[in-house]
Amino acid sequence: MVSSTRRSAPARESAASAAAAAPRPPLPWLDAPLAQVLATQRAHALLVYGPQGVGQLDFALGLARAWLCETPAAARPQGLACGHCAACHLVDERSHPDLRLIVPEAQRAEAGLPVDEAGSDDEGKKRKPSREIKVDQIRTALNFAELTAGRAAHKVLVLFPAEAINPIAANALLKTLEEPGAMRFVLASGAPQALLPTIRSRCQAVQLQMPTREEALAWLGAQGVADAAVLLDAAGGQPQAALALHAAGLDAAAWRQFPQWAAQGQAAPVAGWPLPLLIDALAKLCHDRALVTLGQPARYFAHSELRAGNLDALTRWAADLRRRSRVAEHPFSAGLAVEALMLQARL
Binding residues for Zn ion (CB under 5 A) = 69, 71, 81-82, 85, 88
Separation between Cα atoms, residue 306 and residue 289, nearest integer Å: 6
Residue 177's CB is within 10 A of a number of other CB atoms, namely: 19
Q: Please say whether the beta carbons of 68 and 96 come within 8 A.
A: yes
Buried b (16+ CB within 10 A) or exposed e, 70-86: eeeeeebeebbbbeebe
Closer of 88 and 241 to Zn ion (Cβ): 88
Measured from the CB of residue 129, what is the shortest distance to Zn ion in angstroms?
32
The smaller minimum CB distance to Zn ion, of residues 82 and 218, is found at 82
- Continuous segment of H or E residues that includes residue 189: strand 183-189
Pick 85 or 174: Cβ nearer Zn ion: 85
SS3 48: strand
Least distance between Zn ion and beta carbon 24 (Å) = 17
CB atoms within 10 A of CB 118: 13
Smallest gap from Cβ 80 to Zn ion, in A, equals 9
- Biggest CA–CA distance in the chain, Å, is 64
Please compute, for residue 175, the number of CA atoms within 13 A of its CA located in the half-sphere on the CB side.
8
What whole-number distance in Å separates Cα of residue 278 and Cα of residue 234? 12
Q: Least distance from C-beta 97 to Zn ion, angstroms?
A: 15
CA distance 217 to 255: 17
Q: Report the 3 state secondary structure along 91-110.
A: HHCCCCCCEEEECCHHHCCC
Smaller CB distance to Zn ion: residue 151 or 346? Answer: 151
CB of 156 to Zn ion, least distance (A): 14
Q: Which is nearer to Zn ion, 88 or 102 (CB)?
A: 88
β-strand partners of 187: 47, 159
CB of 227 to Zn ion, least distance (A): 36
- Complex with Zn ion: residue 66 or 169, whichever CB lies closer: 66
- Minimum Å gap between C-beta 55 and Zn ion is 20
User: How far, in Å, CA of 186 to CA of 148, rounded?
Assistant: 20
User: Which C-beta is closer to Zn ion: that of 81 or that of 138?
Assistant: 81
Question: Considering the complex, what minimum distance in angstroms separates the CB of residue 242 from Zn ion?
Answer: 29
Sheet holding 155-159, edge to edge: 99-102, 155-159, 183-189, 45-49, 204-207
Nearer to Zn ion, 84 or 125 (CB): 84
